[in-house]
Structure 1
Amino acid sequence: EILNQLETVMRGSLKIDNYDVSAYIKTTYNDYFNMLIGMIVPELNNFPTQKECFWDYICNYFNLSLTNETNNYMGLFFAGYGHCDAFPKFTHIELYRVVGGKIKYRLVENYEESNNHAQIVPLAQPDVILTFCKGISNRFINYIPQKVESIINSKIDALPDTFTIDQKNALKTSLSSSKAEIASAINTTIQNDNVKPILDSVQLIPLPEMGFLAESLVNITSLKRTFAIDGNQQTVGGPTDVAVMSKGDGFVWIKRKHYFDKQMNPDYIMKIHESQ
């Protein structure tokens, strides 16, 4: 029964595409598994079929998308131009861990633009930047339609007994589309009044100003993470490096930290390295 429950859970879990380290786990940790079985539940050795099934589930467990990995991932973002590209492209991936020399990762987004359409792509902690661009947080975009639906249903339930249960249910059914209509109206207003004006500006402003905009968006995130006690304190901040990429100029630093002053004596720098 326990094995059947475990199988059900694993079948319903998300598997990482093109990633399978079960054979490596089975080869590397087979002796360790047998040792633990002997220490904790030696009776399982009397049931070789169930024991092997259990071991297979454990080995395949490492191929799944695990919460302790997805909550503590490292992000990588590659952006730029190919030799034959007139417009930029990017690839965004999340790295989880390395097992048996094989990287466990998830492709978040691939983007290849073929026109003059602009995008702002926040990474890592996007909530503040998205709130700035949209004029409202994603949390409230989802909350408002759900709250309206909840209020409508509670008002219908509170109608006097002159309304039958069938009539109340009919009212709920006829008004159920309100949630989707409100969500659509909110998103349309956000796009027209907030997002579109910013993106229209991004595709026209000079590159240095584009770098300044990107830095400012990071700074407002840093400001909130500095002063808001929300569990994410001090997770964004410090000096920010700023660079721009273009087809003509390539990669250009706008603002960059330096470990050592350019005018510092090279002999002094060498002594610092020797002391380390």
Structure 2
Amino acid sequence: MKVHDCLVFAADSALSLVQGGQTLNVYSHGNKVFNLVRGQPVCAMFCGMGNIGRSSISSLAKNLRSQLGRSIDDGGINPAEYTIQQIAERTRNYLFERYHALPEKPAFPHSLEFFVGGYSAKSETAEVWKIVISDGEFAGPAQQFEGFDSSYVLWSGQPEALNRLLLGYSQHLPDALLAAGLEPDRLLPIMNHVRSAVGTSLVSDPMPTGDAIALADFLVGVTKQYVHFLNGADTVGGETDIATVTPHEGFRWIRRKHFYPRDLNLETDHA
């Protein structure tokens, strides 16, 4: 979520083990949100497949963070000059190399969406970029979301609940209209009209950071409950991890899981 004062990243903790199109297991303690450059206002989050080969996306994100945090002479970013675009492109190249080094690619279908967002050095305007792997193909270079100077909510992974809540219609409505006989060239204008007529805008530019956090938490909770009551595995669930990025306070954890009791949590940067 992007408002004038901040970015908010929120994600559930469920990671699905899928083979041959079947969900074999759902793990409840996955990490999907990361401070991608320690000490800098840069955050990352992913949805989709939870691993590339034997390495979890969480481990890969931490390995990338170590690379980006090195000295400039050793391949790290320049903390005084970096841009979010540069970090997104570094992320894309890193994931590309790891994916194409696999001796055997994952079975189709599979996809990964990796979001990188934050504030470039010397900038007070947040931006969000996305890297996509879909069935073995990288969807071009990292893509920046439009709305550089405006607020918005982005969601992915299991989008049906928020499609209905925010857009006002199911993701399956376009196919249903075409199956009912709607001419294909009329689909886009009709869907745009439906969205403008029944969509719900819950976010605004001047929204305070605390309210943006509460809204992000609510939206993840809606998705978790919606998926829970559907037939099938709870592929969205577990605890909700939330982080904010602001131009003044930088990256801050709002809520996150711990691997052990909080009274033993002597170190703070394991996630």
- Normalised by the length of structure 1, the TM-score is 0.50
Say if 1:88 and 1:113, in contact at 8 Å, map to a contact too.
Answer: no
The alignment partner of 1:78 has SS state of: strand
Q: Which one-letter code corresponds to 2:235 in the other structure? A: T
Aligned to 2:222: 220
Say if 2:127 and 2:148, in contact at 8 Å, map to a contact too.
Answer: no
Deviation at 1:122, TM superposition (A): 1.0
The alignment partner of 1:75 has SS state of: strand
Aligned to 2:252: 252
Aligned to 2:120: 82
Say if 1:87 and 1:113, in contact at 8 Å, map to a contact too.
Answer: no
- Return the structure number with greater helix share: 1
Change in CA separation of 1:221 and 1:248 when aligned onto 2, cut-off 3 Å:
same
Deviation at 1:136, TM superposition (A): 0.7
Deviation at 1:214, TM superposition (A): 1.5
Q: Which one-letter code corresponds to 2:131 in the other structure? A: I
Q: Distance in 2 between matches of 1:114 and 1:137?
A: 24
- Return the structure number with greater strand share: 2
- Correspondence list, 1:2-41, <5 A: none
The alignment partner of 1:202 has SS state of: coil
- Correspondence list, 1:168-183, <5 A: 180-181=185-186, 183=188
Deviation at 1:264, TM superposition (A): 3.5
Q: Distance in 2 between matches of 1:96 and 1:141?
A: 21
- Normalised by the length of structure 2, the TM-score is 0.50
The alignment partner of 1:222 has SS state of: helix
- Correspondence list, 1:59-70, <5 A: 68=106
**Residues 1:93 and 2:131 aligned together:** yes
Say if 1:74 and 1:96, in contact at 8 Å, map to a contact too.
Answer: yes
Aligned to 2:161: 128
Change in CA separation of 1:265 and 1:78 when aligned onto 2, cut-off 3 Å:
closer
Structure with bigger RCO (C-alpha 8 Å, 6+ apart): 2
Deviation at 1:185, TM superposition (A): 3.5
Q: Which one-letter code corresponds to 2:119 in the other structure? A: Y
| Sequence identity percentage | 20
Q: Distance in 1 between matches of 2:147 and 2:230?
A: 40
Q: Distance in 2 between matches of 1:205 and 1:70?
A: 41
Change in CA separation of 1:117 and 1:83 when aligned onto 2, cut-off 3 Å:
same
Match of 2:170 among 131, 134, 137: 137
Q: Which one-letter code corresponds to 2:163 in the other structure? A: L
Q: Which one-letter code corresponds to 1:208 in the other structure? A: G
Q: Distance in 2 between matches of 1:109 and 1:139?
A: 27
Q: Which one-letter code corresponds to 1:202 in the other structure? A: S
Aligned to 2:81: none
RMSD of aligned residue pairs (Cα, Å)? 3.6
The alignment partner of 1:79 has SS state of: strand
Q: Structure 1: which 5+ runs fail to align?
A: 1-61, 98-102, 150-175, 270-276
Change in CA separation of 1:185 and 1:124 when aligned onto 2, cut-off 3 Å:
closer
Aligned to 1:261: 261
Aligned to 1:188: 193
Deviation at 1:132, TM superposition (A): 1.5
Say if 2:126 and 2:148, in contact at 8 Å, map to a contact too.
Answer: no
